[in-house]
Amino acid sequence: MSKSKEKEKAIRLRRKGLSYTEILKQVSVAKSTLSLWLQYVGLAKRQKQRLTEKRLKAALRGSLSRKNKRLIVTEEIKKQARKEIGNISDRELWLIGTALYWGEGSKQKENNPSQQARFTNSDPLMIKLYLKWLQKICKIAKKDIHFEIYIHETANAERAKRYWSKVFNIPVSKFQKIRLKKNKIKTKRKNIGSNYYGLIRVEIRKGTNFNRKISGWIEGICQYCGIV
C-alpha cells in the first residue's frame, strides 16, 4: 500500500474514533509519522468520549493488575511471617499479654493508686488475645470479667452490643454498661458508618491488686532489658 493510501486509511480510521494504538495495528508506519498525519484531524464528541472511555478502562485494568500483584506479594510476606512465629509457649503468651496491657491498659498513678485493671480497645483480635491471656495465664474467672461499650451517641448501641456479643461468643447481657460519648458536629474522625461498633473496655472485678501485679511484671521486663 502506498504512503498516500496508508495516510488516507489512517485518517479514515481516526475519524471513526480509533486510538493511535488501534490504527497502528492496521497501518504499518512509525508512530511519529502517524502523529504527523493526524495532528489536524478533528474528532466528534462521540469519538472523543470513546477514546476517553478506552483510556479509563486501560487505566482501571492497570490499577487492578497492580492491586492483584500487591495482594499476592503481601500474602506471600505474611505467609512467611506466620511461619516465623511458630509455637508460642505459656511464658511467651504471659509476656505478650503483659506488653498488651502496658500499651492499652489503665495504669495506677499517684493520684489514683487504686486503679482497677481495665483494658480498652476496638480491635476484636487484640481483645480476644487479651481475654485468652486473662483466663489461661492469669487464671481470672469468667465471672470476674466485665465488659463495657464506649460508643458515640449518634451510633447504634444495640447493633454494637450484638456485634461484640457475636465476636466474643458471650450473651448480650454481659455488656452491662453502655457509655455514650458526645458527638461533635464537625469531626474528621474515621470511626463512623456501618462498621463502627465503638470501643470495648474489659474490667476485672476487684482488680486493683491484679493491676499492681501487672505493673510489677512490666517493671521486671524493663529491668531485664536494661532500660531502667
Lowest-pLDDT range, 21-25, 119-123, 158-162, 179-183?
Answer: 179-183
Residue 112, pLDDT > 70, answer yes
Statement: residue 89 has pLDDT above 60: yes
Please tell me the distance from the alpha carbon of residue 57 to that of residue 21, in angstroms, as a whole number: 15
Cell of 106: 489503665
The pLDDT of residue 186 is above 80: no
Q: Where are the beta strands (DSSP E) in 57-153?
A: 118-121, 145-152
**What's the CA gap between 144 and 146, in Å, rounded?**
6
Of 60, 48, 56, the C-alpha closest to 19 is 48
What CA–CA distance (Å, rounded) separates 144 from 203?
A: 8
pLDDT score, position 29? 85
Q: What are phi and psi of 187, to 5 degrees?
A: -150, 145
Average pLDDT over residues 186-215: 83
Q: Which residues make beta-bridge pairs with 204?
A: 145
pTM of the complete model: 0.70
Please state, for a pLDDT cut of 70, what percent of the chain lies above it. 91
pLDDT band, residue 90 (cuts 50/70/90): very high
69-86 pLDDT, tens digit each: 999 999 999 999 999 999
Helix (H, G, I), strand (E, B) or coil at 169: coil
Dig out the grid coordinates for 157 from the structure: 448501641
Q: Around Cβ 197, how many Cβ atoms within 10 Å?
A: 21
DSSP count for the chain of H helices, then E strands: 8, 4
b/e sequence 103-122, b meaning 16+ C-beta within 10 Å: ebbbebeeeeeebbbbbebe
All cell numbers assigned to 82: 506466620
What is the C-alpha to C-alpha distance for residues 218 and 213, in angstroms, rounded to an integer?
9
198 pLDDT more than 60: yes
pLDDT at position 100: 97
Cβ atoms of residues 151 and 198 within 8 Å: yes
Helix/strand/coil for 140: coil
What would the mean pLDDT of 159-177 be, rounded to a whole number? 90
Residue indicated by cell numbers 511464658 = 91
* Contacts of residue 2, Cβ cutoff 8 Å, sequence gap at least 6: none
pLDDT of residue 49: 65
Determine the Cα–Cα distance for residues 226 and 222; give it in Å rounded to an integer: 6
